[in-house]
Each structure stands twice: as C-alpha cells, then as structure tokens.
Structure 1
Amino acid sequence: MSTQNALLTILVEKINNDTLVLPTLPAIALKVRKAADDPNVNLQGLAEVVGQDPSLSARLVKIANSAYLGRTVKVSSTSQAVTRIGLAQVKNISTALAMEQLFVSKNEVVKAYMASHWNKTVDMVANAMAAMLLYKTSNKDNSLSLDTMTLSALVADIGALPVLTEAERHDSVFANSSFLDVAIDKLSGRIGGSIMREWQFNEIFIEAAEHWRDTEYQESSIGYLDFIRVGAALTNNIDDAEAVLNTAIERGLFADLDVFESDEFTELRDNAKAIFA
C-alpha cells in the first residue's frame, strides 16, 4: 500500500473511531465568545477582554476605521472600536481573526502549504462577503447577517486542518499536493462538522462545514451556503465553478454574472480582504 493510500485509510479509521485529534479554538477567541455570550456583559467589559490581546485590539481598531464599515470619523481605542462594531459582531470578527493562528507549522513544507490554504480561504471569504453585500443592497428586508456568513465561510474548510496535520508526519505526501486536495475534498466535510460541534458552534456553522462542497445539497431559500459557494467559485476553490455561479443566478442572488466584473464588486471584495491583512 502506498503512503498516500495508507494515510487515507488512517484518516478514515480515526474519523470512524472518533480518535482524530481536532484543533482547539485559540484562547483569545474563546475568551471573547464567552464574554459576548454573558447576558450581563456590556461593551466596556467586552473591550477589556479584547484588550488582553494587543494584536486583536489593533486589528479591531483597524476594522472599525476601515472602508468595510464605511466610516469617516476615526477611532483610536479598543473600547471605541468595540462600540462601533457592536457586541455580536465583535464575537464573530474576533473568532475570524483568530482562525489564522491555527494554520501554522514548524515544518517548512507544511507551513508553506498551510499558508497557501489560508490565503485561498481568505480570497474565498472576501468574494463571499462582497457577493452578500451586493445582494443586501437590493434585498434590504432579508435577515442574513454578514458577520455570521463571514465566519461561516472562514470555518467552512476547517476540516482540512486535521488532514494537513496528520499528513505532516509523512513527507512523501506533501510532495504530492494533488493527493492532499483529494483527501481534503473527501474528508474535510465530516471532520469540519465534528470540529464545529466540539467548539459548540450552532447549526449554521455545522452546516457550512459539512455541506459547502456538496452542491447538490441546497437550502430551500437563499442562505449562507449560497454565498460561501459563490465565493469559492470566484476563487476556483470548488468543483464546476461555472455551474455554481449559474445556480446562484437561477436562485435569484443576482441578475447575471456581469455583477462580478463590476467596479463595485471589486471594491467591496478588496475592502473585505483588507480585514485579514
């Protein structure tokens, strides 16, 4: 049996036996989520929790001042940033920003692959965010949350991480990136759903992790999966990207594909991507 087939067998066995080591959510994200879920917390209290991580504080101030929020008056403190962004949004944005910490490795080859995988994820998320923002401008009565969709898109492919971690022990596997892509495509949905449950995320995020690659799985009404798939298609990060975009048109997300070539879409995508820079 080749190393690649052996690894695939090992991964499937560990998934079936519930023995695959799953990543844990970074500590600062856990703290922020716990504080935000506290019914007695106020914005100042949440700002104090965020302030425990200087890097996160700086990035939230940057977001509060960014074109993404469309504000001209600048803020300079964590408390001002948290007030501007809002309690629920800070919870999801902090988690999203912390996700990058998971894609690290001491092995240079693995590190490069993980960096590439993270960059593709950011591109997918930025396209998905721009797509939803355009949709919301002409569908103002919808109840979809941009922040929820953003985090859903970021965690959608989290199931790839244990595959990469397990493969790290086998240098020959990393010499064949096509095998890794196949393994991720086959297994990441099941693993991703397990991670979301382990992290106690709700059904929205579980569904995103488990089903975003399965384009035959469709919600009855327009939902977060639609935008995640559009983002993936525009990044060539999903099978049959053209069919995915055509489905988005058929489901009424947009009138035609020309919207993705517009200056407005490009600006929204670039502003969204800057959040993760």
Structure 2
Amino acid sequence: MSTENALLTILVEKINNDTLVLPTLPAIALKVRKAADDPAVNLNKMGDVIGQDPALSARMMKIANSAYLGRTVKVENLHQAVTRIGLRQIKNIATALAMEQLFVSKNQIVGEYLAKLWDRTVDVTANAMAVYQIYIRYGKNVKNLNVDSLTLAALVHNIGVLPILSEAERHQDVFANPTFLNVAIQKLAGRLGATIMREWGFSEEMVQITENWRSLKFQTEKIAYIDFIRVGAVLSGAISSHKDAVMNLCQSKGIVEDLKLLDSDEFKDIRDDAKAIFK
C-alpha cells in the first residue's frame, strides 16, 4: 500500500473510531466566549478578559479603527474598542481573530503549508466580507445576518483541514505530493470540520457551513452565510470546478445581481480594507 493510500486509510479509520485528535479552540477565545455567555458581564469585565492577551487586544483595536467598518474617529484604548464593537459582536470577533493561532506548526514543511492555508482562508474571508458589504450597500434586508458572524464562519469554513495536516505530519513524504493532500482534503475536510464545530459547541448553521461549503447539493432557502463564503471562495480561487454555478446562484438569489460590481474599484477597496484587519 502506498504512503498516500495508507494515510487516507488511517484518517478514515480514526474518524470512524472517533480517535482522531481534533484542534482545540484557542484559550483566549474560550475565555471570551465564556465571559460573553455570562449574563452579568459588562464592557469593563469583557475588556479585562481581552486585555489578558496582548495580541488579541491589538487586533481588537485594529478592527475597531478599521477602514472596513468606516471608522474615522480613532479609539485610543481597549475599553473604547470594546465599547465601539459591542458585547454582541465581541464573542464572534474574538473567536475569529484567535483562529490564526491554530495555523502554526514547529515543523517547517507543515508550517509553510499551514501559512499558505491561512493566507487562502483570509482571502476567502475578505472577499466574502466585501460581497456582504456590496449586498447591504445596495439596499438589501439583512436582519438575519451580521458581519461578525460572517467573518467567523468564513475563517472556520476550512477548519477540517487541520487534523488532516496534523496526521500527515507523521508521513512527511506526502507533502511532496500536494495533489494527494488536496484529494484527502476534498474527501474528508468537510466531515472533520463539522465534527470540530460540534466539539466546540457552535451552532448547527456553523456546522453545516464547514461540512457543505464545497458542495452545491446543500442549499438554503434564504440567503445565508454559506452563500457569501462560496462566492468568496470562487473569487479567491478556492473553488474552481463549479465556479460558474456558484456565481449563477449568487445572481439568482439576489446577492449581487450585477457581477461586474465584483470587479469594480469599489469592491476591491472594500476587500482590501477587510483583508488589512488580519494582516
């Protein structure tokens, strides 16, 4: 049996036996989510929790002042940033910003692969966020959608790749065959992503996104986060086999009726502002 087939067999067996090691949510994200679920929490307490992590604090300041959010008056401290963002959004935004911590490895080969994966994830996210902004700028009703939940959904949409790469790290020669890795990811990442999101206690909608974003067989009746993520994936080159179908759905659902907007300077500026949040 080839190394590639052996790895795929090992992965499937571990998934079926529930013995595959899954990534854990970063500690600071767990603290923020726990605090956000506390009915007694207030902005000062939340600021104290976030302040325990200097990197997250800096990111919160950055997003509060971001051009993407259209802010002209700058906040100067973490308390002001938390106040501007608000408790409702903090939970998802903090989790999203902590995601980068999972895309690291002490192994050089795996680390380089993860770095590329994170860059692609950020590209998908920035494009999805820009599509969302174009959607709402042209007068669409988005009562059931919000940008912080979309951001989180986009950043975790491909989370199922991580345990595959962790297992592949034990068989480093497979990294010389990216085609095989892509096949393994196509076959297993969705299933693993759903498992991870359930393990982390996320909503069923988030579970469905990680499991089904690649498959157009899964559709929602109303416009949902998965639609923006799919368009973001097409624009980022993460979906190529059925990109025309994705864009046709984008039009038919009324997300972006004129696809020329996605090639406009307006769109590119929004996308670049969104991407700057994660750089």
1:175 aligned partner, one-letter code:
A
Aligned with 2:245 (options 231, 243, 246):
243
Q: Does 1:86 align with 2:86?
A: yes
Q: Structure 1 residue 222: deviation in Å?
A: 0.9
Q: How does 1:32-111 map to 2 (within 5 A)?
A: 32-111=32-111
1:253 aligned partner, one-letter code:
I
Q: Contact (CA 8 Å) 2:23, 2:163: kept in 1 or not?
A: yes
* Count of residues paired in the alignment: 277
Q: Contact (CA 8 Å) 2:250, 2:257: kept in 1 or not?
A: no
Q: How does 1:1-277 map to 2 (within 5 A)?
A: 1-143=1-143, 144-238=145-239, 239-277=241-279
Task: For 2:17 and 2:235, locate their aligned partners in 1 and report how far apart those are by CA, in whole Å.
Answer: 36
SS at match of 2:75: coil
SS at match of 1:248: helix
Q: Structure 1 residue 256: deviation in Å?
A: 2.3
Q: Structure 1 residue 49: deviation in Å?
A: 0.3
Q: Contact (CA 8 Å) 1:26, 1:99: kept in 2 or not?
A: yes
1:49 aligned partner, one-letter code:
V
Deviation sequence 1:44-80 (CA, Å, 0-9, x none): 1101100001111111111111101211111111110
Deviation sequence 1:199-223 (CA, Å, 0-9, x none): 0011121111111011121101111
Q: Structure 1 residue 139: deviation in Å?
A: 3.6
Task: For 2:243 and 2:163, locate their aligned partners in 1 and report how far apart those are by CA, in whole Å.
Answer: 25
Q: Structure 1 residue 253: deviation in Å?
A: 1.1
Task: For 2:68 and 2:51, locate their aligned partners in 1 and report how far apart those are by CA, in whole Å.
Answer: 22
> Over the residues paired in the alignment, what is the CA RMSD in angstroms?
0.9
Unaligned runs of 5+ in 2: none
Q: Structure 1 residue 252: deviation in Å?
A: 1.5
Q: Contact (CA 8 Å) 1:152, 1:204: kept in 2 or not?
A: no
Task: For 1:160 and 1:215, locate their aligned partners in 2 and report how far apart those are by CA, in whole Å.
Answer: 19
Q: Structure 1 residue 240: deviation in Å?
A: 2.0
Identity of aligned residues (%): 62
SS at match of 1:45: helix
Q: Structure 1 residue 243: deviation in Å?
A: 2.1
Deviation sequence 1:12-49 (CA, Å, 0-9, x none): 11111111100000000000111111111011110110
Task: For 1:26 and 1:259, locate their aligned partners in 2 and report how far apart those are by CA, in whole Å.
Answer: 37
Q: Contact (CA 8 Å) 1:96, 1:154: kept in 2 or not?
A: yes
2:211 aligned partner, one-letter code:
E
Q: Structure 1 residue 140: deviation in Å?
A: 4.1
2:102 aligned partner, one-letter code:
L
TM-score, normalised by the number of residues in structure 2: 0.97
Moved over 4 A (4+): none
Task: For 2:168 and 2:141, locate their aligned partners in 1 and report how far apart those are by CA, in whole Å.
Answer: 46
TM-score, normalised by the number of residues in structure 1: 0.98
Task: For 1:186 and 1:85, locate their aligned partners in 2 and report how far apart those are by CA, in whole Å.
Answer: 38
Q: Structure 1 residue 138: deviation in Å?
A: 2.2
